[in-house]
Structure 1
Amino acid sequence: MPQVYALAPLTPASHWSFIALLAVLVGLLTFIYFSTLPQISKIVSIGLLTLMLFAFSWLFFKADDSKLIIGENKLILDVPFYAMTLPLAEVEINDIQRLDWQREPDLKLESRHNGVGMSGYQLGWFRLSNNQKAFVVMSEEENLVMIPTLRGYRIILSLQEPDKLLNQQR
């Protein structure tokens, strides 16, 4: 029977970041619609901004419904845009640990290489201070867990109940 672990929901700061971003996109759409741009430029700009508006709206909606699922033979990470499935044979399941950047500063996020970075929400591929790669889904820094993989990267997640995962996997 698969075990489901909810990822930490968005913080109030990240909610406001998303709302501000969506408001800016709507404002740009309105400005371009009423501007005197050439018709083809207007159509392309409105199309791209509408696509971005839908993408960020979906990300905003789906972020609070993200989860980690550990089944009999696989680990599933159900997150917006970056959902992944790994065979459990490629996950060092016994080495899952809580992550505290005060004790392990070499595992801090250094730079984002592909993903979304907003106030209170980080999602995607990052380079760590120790130069390793990590896939990160983080809405808060207090309840982080690190899942090492045999694929050469780590998975860093903020979970609602990290101790539940740690206790059940030991």
Structure 2
Amino acid sequence: MDVIALTPLDSGAINSVIAVLLGLLALTVFIFVKPIPSNAKYLTLGIMLPLMALFVFILYQSFSSNISWDNKLLRVNIPLYSNEIDTDLVDFAQARVVNLIKEPEYAAKWRTNGLGLPGYSLGWFSLNNGVKALLSVTESEGVILLPISHDRVILFSVIDADEALAKLHASAQSKQPID
């Protein structure tokens, strides 16, 4: 089984997640201090605690994100959007490194389902070129583009783009390209 570790969050993205958590905590405290019915206070607590837990989970899980594959399945292990894809659908030969600043057609245009924070894009996005993409991007350079069908790709930031690309291309030798 081949594994590629994804780039962990940098300090800017961590600060963004912490700012969201602090904002949710401040809002919860404000609602509890404000004179409103107790049912509303507990409803707020029932909404805010799971939401804060979700952001803590995203922060924690982002440090162990990876892409792994064998002969049958490609496993995308990212927070909230882990996925398994049949390797017959993956075009390892067309994988390449992109720079989202120099190649804006691969930059995210619309978030269809995901999280977009400064320094961290996670989830399903529509790209500027109209392709749908599963993103786990923490920086603009050294992003791997991996086609998973004729109209879908995975974009993910990696620690060593050249090494990751070599692993992906090595897997392509036994596969046929997607038509």
The answer to whether the 8 A contact 1:8-1:158 is kept is yes
Structure 1 window deviating more from structure 2 (104-113 vs 41-50): it is: 104-113
Structure 1 partner of 2:13:
14
Q: How many Å apart are 1:31 and its aligned residue?
A: 1.5
Name which of structure 1's ranges 114-123 and 144-153 shifts more when overlaid on structure 2: 144-153
Q: Distance in 2 between matches of 1:15 and 1:45?
A: 25
2:163 paired with 1:158: no
Matched to 2:162, the amino acid is D
Quick one: which amino acid aligns to residue 88 of structure 1? T
Identity of aligned residues (%): 27
Aligned twin of 1:51: 50
Cα distance in structure 1, aligned partners of 2:81 and 2:167: 25
Matched with 1:37 is 36
Counterpart CA distance in 1 for 2:16 and 2:102 is 29
Matched with 1:96 is 95
Contact 2:21 2:55 in 1 (8 A): yes
Paired residue total? 169
Counterpart check, 1:120 vs 2:119: yes
Aligned residue number for residue 135 of structure 1? 134
Q: Following superposition, which runs of at least 4 residues in structure 1 exceed 3 angstroms of deviation?
A: none
Q: CA RMSD in A?
A: 1.3
1:93 maps to a residue whose letter is: F
1:49-91: CA deviations, max 9, x gaps?
Answer: 1110100011111111111112221110001110000010010
Q: Select between 56-65 and 146-155 the one with higher mean Cα deviation.
A: 146-155
- Range 145-154 or range 44-53, more displaced: 145-154
TM-score, normalised to structure 2, is 0.89
Greater alpha carbon shift after TM alignment, 31-40 vs 132-141: 31-40
Write the distance in 2 (CA, Å) between the matches of 1:43 and 1:151. 48
Q: Which amino acid aligns with 1:54?
A: A
SS of corresponding position for 2:84: strand
Change in Cα spacing, 1:102 to 1:24, as seen in structure 2 (3 Å) is closer
Equivalents in 2 of 1:10, 1:133: separation in Å?
A: 23
Could you tell me which runs of 5 or more consecutive residues in structure 1 were left unpaired when the two chains were aligned.
Answer: none
CA contact (8 A) 1:128 1:134 kept: yes
User: 2:143, 2:100 → 1: CA distance?
Assistant: 9
- Residue identity in the other structure for 2:20: L
- Where in structure 2 are there 5+ consecutive unaligned residues? 170-179
* Contact kept? 1:67, 1:77, Cα under 8 Å: yes
Q: Structure 1's 151 and 87: CA in aligned 2 closer, same or farther, altered over 3 A? A: farther
Distance 1:14 1:101 in 2: 17
Using the TM superposition, give the Cα deviation of residue 102 of structure 1 relative to its aligned residue in structure 2, in angstroms: 4.6
